[in-house]
Amino acid sequence: MTARADVPESPEAGARHIDRAGAITAGAGRLALLLVALPGVVVVVLAIVGPWIAPHPLGATVAPPFEPPGDGHPFGTDRLGRDLWSQALYGGRGLLIVPMIATVATVFVGAAVGMTAGYLRGRVDALTLAMLDLLLVLPGVLVILVLASGWGAGPVVIVIAMVLTGSPFLARLARAATLEVSQAPFVQVSVTQGDGTFTILRRDVLPNVVGPLLADSGMRFLGALYLVAALSLLGFGPPTPETNWAVMIRENAEGAGLNVWALALPALMIALLSIAVNVVLQTIADRFAR
């Protein structure tokens, strides 16, 4: 009986094995990403449509205070006997919309300032950097507290505070990316053709810097979300009977021993919302980076 010699694997077969392993790994990564983001996406949907599907009116007393979960009240009641699930459904929209608007405004201002400074350079760049350095040292909470003491902690004040404290970071990021992209041959061709600054920034520079900006916008959103929550915990929340998840935490802290869901439900909503938004924005940024 003759021994059979091992036939070496062809390069094509090896490449197929590598591609198959890469596809399996990518599929597992997408599945893990979906499992992480899905609960948060559900929370986002509930925050948007919550007021339309809440089983009880906003602020309605339906049972004794801090009643444990039971029939008609899946998470029990809060300190005023209001249905916790209904309050949570009403409280998500305010905690979602304001940070979203603040994030969009921050990204827009930071990107516009940073891209302009990085492309024009010279004195414009130097003056912009000096102003950004001044804004970078401003603590966000201190700025919002000063503004809130004078004009109240309304949505407009929160957006202004986030733009003042968040856009300098994004502007520096956009500037650094623009400095690199502006030296690319396709940008120099546009300059040679006589294209305007705005056209070059919009058509040639922005698509190449939008990835890092979107990745950082996740952090900006979390900062705005935590800022709104911190203001609510400090008593600068929406007027009664309006509510949000942070207000629910502040109001029901004393009764957590009677009904743990009075604290756990709004805290879980905030955590899932933070994770979902950050994962989704990071995924979008990775798509642009490819």
Distances (CA, A) of 200 to 185, 187, 190, 191, 207: 12, 7, 7, 8, 11
pLDDT-derived band of residue 114, with 50, 70 and 90 as boundaries? Answer: very high
* pTM for this prediction: 0.77
Q: Above 70 in pLDDT, residue 270?
A: yes
Q: Per residue in 27-64, pLDDT tens?
A: 555 666 666 667 778 888 888 899 999 999 988 888 89
Tokens of 147: 């503004």
Are the C-beta atoms of 58 and 248 separated by less than 8 Å? no
CA separation for the pair 280, 233 (Å, rounded): 27
Question: What's the mean pLDDT in 109-120?
Answer: 91
| % of the chain at pLDDT higher than 70 | 83
Q: Any bridge partners for residue 83, and if so which?
A: 77
**Contact between 58 and 86 (Cβ < 8 Å):** yes
Give the CA count within 13 Å in the CB-facing half-sphere of 15: 3
> Does residue 6 register a pLDDT over 60?
no
What is the pLDDT at residue 264? 92
**Share of residues in the chain with pLDDT > 90 (%):** 18
CATH architecture of 38-51+81-289: Orthogonal Bundle (1.10)
Mean pLDDT of the chain: 81
Kindly state the helix (H) or strand (E) to which residue 226 belongs, with its residue range: helix 206-233
The answer to whether residue 15 scores a pLDDT higher than 70 is: no
Confidence (pLDDT) at 86? 93
What CA–CA distance (Å, rounded) separates 198 from 184?
A: 17
Three-class SS state of 73: strand
